């Protein structure tokens, strides 16, 4: 918590907040929603679910239809975890155990855990457009303290009934493991990195096939696209392929040499594919070691 407070002070008072939209602060109901989503992410609800909620209680129907099985499993396991890891032990603690000291300790520990959770999120709590599960690294410790408090006290009270305790512990650990596994597999299946990996493999193969041994100083022009740029790390993939820092990958908006540019403007050439370039323009580009990737 001390770390979070120090970070918040430095962020707000010393270094300031960037002016981008994602860093606009909000002190309204969106901060509560932010807190709720970090709570759900801690309990193995996938991050993507947040972006599929049209309103507070309404989820995108297409998302529900396309991922019906995942939706059902995620919410069912959330209910199971809440009920058997927190709700049932809390009920036994209050209605059957009835030990004042245990109940008093429960309140102290639970309040401490909740305060830790909120304070741990203070650096990002009021930025509704800047929410990510990795902000839970510190805050989740407090929430897990709150969440597991009744269970820990119940195990302490019934510590002589080892068989019952270990059986129950095995059941709830299994439920938690499967909910974590579902979250992980779903996130892997829809994560942006998968599409970038596919694009990277596809274009690296095409580049290598069409230009197996380019000369030093060669420029290979690829289709425009922000995703493709990220997939190939702009020009980094060229060194990976050829071990030559002077072989360059660029995109359709590259700077055409003036000599070739005059030909392009005179002929009114529209650069979409290699076969659309006239011979004079191609010869000019080849002179400067500029080649277009045939994307077909």
Query: Per-residue pLDDT tens for 103-122?
Result: 888 899 999 999 999 998 88
Report whether pLDDT(8) > 80.
no
For residue 164, pLDDT over 80 is answered with: yes
Distance CA 53, CA 63 (A): 9
For residues 269-278, give the mean pLDDT.
53
Query: Quick one: pLDDT at residue 236?
Result: 82
- Kindly state the average pLDDT of the residues 263-269: 64
CB atoms within 10 A of CB 19: 7
User: 171: which 2 tokens?
Assistant: 């059941």
DSSP 91-124: HHIIIII--HHHHHHHHHHHHHHHHHHHHHHHHH
Q: How many CB atoms lie within 10 A of CB 93?
A: 20
**For range 49-54, the mean pLDDT:** 86
Q: Is the pLDDT of residue 153 over 80?
A: yes
Region 143-170: mean pLDDT is 87
Query: What's the N-to-C CA distance of the chain in angstroms?
Result: 56
Q: How far apart are CA 210 and CA 242, in angstroms?
A: 13
Mean pLDDT of the chain: 83
For residue 286, the model assigns a pLDDT of 85
Is residue 91 pLDDT above 50, yes or no? yes
How high is the pLDDT of residue 23? 65
What pLDDT score does 15 carry?
Answer: 60
When mean pLDDT is compared over 17-31, 44-58, 266-280, the highest value belongs to: 44-58
State the pLDDT at residue 244.
79
Q: How far apart are CA 74 and CA 184, in angstroms?
A: 11
Closest CA relative to residue 232, chosen from 249, 253, 252: 249
Query: Do the beta carbons of residue 220 and residue 247 sit within 8 Å?
Result: yes
Q: How far is CA 206 from the centre of its chain?
A: 29
């Amino acid at each position: 918590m001390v770390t979070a407070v120090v970070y918040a002070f430095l962020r707000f008072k010393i270094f300031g907040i960037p002016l981008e939209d994602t860093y606009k602060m909000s002190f309204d109901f969106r901060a509560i929603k932010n807190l709720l989503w970090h709570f759900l992410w801690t309990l193995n609800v996938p991050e993507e679910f947040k972006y599929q909620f049209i309103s507070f209680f309404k989820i995108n129907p297409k998302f529900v239809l396309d991922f019906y099985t995942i939706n059902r499993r995620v919410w069912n396991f959330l209910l199971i975890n809440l009920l058997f890891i927190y709700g049932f032990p809390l009920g036994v603690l209050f209605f059957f155990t009835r030990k004042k000291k245990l109940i008093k300790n429960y309140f102290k520990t639970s309040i401490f855990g909740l305060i830790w959770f909120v304070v741990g999120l203070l650096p990002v709590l009021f930025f509704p457009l800047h929410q990510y599960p990795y902000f839970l690294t510190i805050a989740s410790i407090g929430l897990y303290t709150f969440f597991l408090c009744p269970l820990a006290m119940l195990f302490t009270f019934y510590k002589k009934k080892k068989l019952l305790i270990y059986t129950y512990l095995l059941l709830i650990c299994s439920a938690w493991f499967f909910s974590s596994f579902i979250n992980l597999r779903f996130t892997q299946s829809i994560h942006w990195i998968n599409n970038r990996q596919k694009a990277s493999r596809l274009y690296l193969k095409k580049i290598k096939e069409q230009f197996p041994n380019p000369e030093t100083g060669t420029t290979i022009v690829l289709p425009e696209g922000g995703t493709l740029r990220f997939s190939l790390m702009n020009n980094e993939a060229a060194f990976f392929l050829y071990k030559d820092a002077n072989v360059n990958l660029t995109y359709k908006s590259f700077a055409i040499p003036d000599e070739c540019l005059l030909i392009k403007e005179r002929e009114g050439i529209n650069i979409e594919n290699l076969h659309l370039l006239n011979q004079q323009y191609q010869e000019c580009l080849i002179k400067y070691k500029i080649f277009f990737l045939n994307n077909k």
